[in-house]
Structure 1
Amino acid sequence: MVEEDQESIFTIWLEKHSSSVIKVARAYTLTSEECQDLAQEILLQAWRSLPNFQGQASAPTWFYRVALHTAMNWHRKDSPRRARQHPLLEVQALVTGEKQGVEQVQQREMVEQLYHAIHQLPKTEAALVLLYLDELSYREIADVLGISESNVGVKLNRAKKALRALMTGDADGS
C-alpha cells in the first residue's frame, strides 16, 4: 500500500470510526488521562496495522478488532513507553453546557453508571457489550471477536444479565 494511499484511507476511516476508538478506550480505562493514552495507542496500532489490511473484514470490523485487541493488551505494556508518545490527535471529552437540565444530568449519570458496570465485567464480555451498544449485527460482532453468531447470542445474554445485576445491585442476577 502506497503511503499516500494509506494516509488517505486512514484519515477517512478515522473520521468514520473515531467514536468506536473513544468508546473502547473509555470502557477499558478509569481516568480521562488513561482514556486519552489508550485512544492514542489504538490509533497508533491501527496506523501500523493498516498495511496488513487485506479486505477480508469490513473497515468497521477491522477497526474494532484493532481497538479491542489493543485495549485488552494495553495494561501489559510498559508505562514509560506510553509517556514518550506524542498524540496523533487530541481526544476531547464531551463538552456540556453550563446549564444542564434534569434529564441531561440523569442521562449522564446513567451513562456513567453503565460504564462503571462495564468496567466490572470480564474484558471479553465488556468488548461484546461495547460492540452491541454500537449497534453492530451479530454477524459483525462474531467477525470482530472471532466467534460464531450463535455464541454471540449466548454470551450477549449472559453479559446483559450480568450488567443488569451490576446496575441494580442484584447479586444473584435475577
Structure 2
Amino acid sequence: MLDDDQKSLFMAWLQEHSSAVMKVARAYTLTSEECQDLAQEILLQAWQSLAKFERKSAPATWFYRVALQTAMNWQRKDKPRRSLQKPLLEVQIISDSNFGIQQVQQQEVVDQLYKAISQLPKGDAALVLLYLDEMSYREMSEVLGISESNVGVKLNRAKKALNDLMKGTNDEH
C-alpha cells in the first residue's frame, strides 16, 4: 500500500473508530491524562500495524483488536507505577448552562460504569467494551480470538461481575 493510500485509509478509519479508541483508553486508565496517553499509544500502534492488515476481518474488528491489545500491554507494563499512584482528585468543571441535573446524573453513572469496568479482569473488560459497542458475538470472537460460545459464557460472567461492582459502587454513595 502506498503511503498516501495508507494515510487516507487510516484517517477514514480514525474518523469511524475514534470513539472505540476512547472507550478502550478510558476503561484501562485512572485519569484523563492517562486516557489521553493511552489513546495516543493506541493510534500509534494502529498506524504502525496498518501495513500488516490483511483484510481478513472487518476494519472495525481489526481496529478494536489493536486498541485492546495495546491497552492490555500498556496496563501490564504500567502496572508497577500505577499501583503506587492513585488519583488524588478527579476534577470536572461542569457549567450549569451546559448541563442539566439529569445530564450530570447520567455522567455520574457513566463514570461509575467505567470505574467498575476498570476493576474487571482485562479479558472481561474487553468483552464488556465490545458488548457496549453493540458488536455481535461473532465480531467479539474475531476481535478476541475465542469461539462464539466462549464469548457468551464469558460475557455472562463479566456482566454479573460488572453488576456486582456497580451495586457496590452505588452502595458507597
TM-score (norm. length: structure 1) = 0.85
Q: Distance in 2 between matches of 1:95 and 1:154?
A: 40
Q: Distance in 1 between matches of 2:23 and 2:102?
A: 22
Corresponding residue number in structure 1 for 2:86 = none
Corresponding residue number in structure 1 for 2:68 = 68
- After superposition, give the CA deviation of every residue in 1:128-155 in whole Å (9 maximum; x if it has no partner): 0000000001100000000011111100
Q: How does 1:156-167 map to 2 (within 5 A)?
A: 156-167=155-166
Corresponding residue number in structure 2 for 1:91 = none
Look up the SS of the partner of 1:169 in the other structure. helix
Deviation, 1:76, is 4.3
Give 4+ residue runs of structure 1 displaced > 6 Å after superposition: none
Deviation, 1:55, is 0.2
Q: Which AA in structure 1 matches 2:139?
A: E
Q: Distance in 2 between matches of 1:72 and 1:3?
A: 29
The gaps in structure 2 that reach 5 residues or longer are 79-91
Closer/same/farther in 2, CA of residues 50 and 33 from structure 1, 3 Å limit: same
RMSD of aligned residue pairs (Cα, Å): 1.8
Higher helix proportion (structure 1 or 2): 2
The gaps in structure 1 that reach 5 residues or longer are 79-93
Deviation, 1:97, is 4.9
Q: Distance in 2 between matches of 1:14 and 1:77?
A: 25
Corresponding residue number in structure 1 for 2:17 = 17
Deviation, 1:98, is 3.4
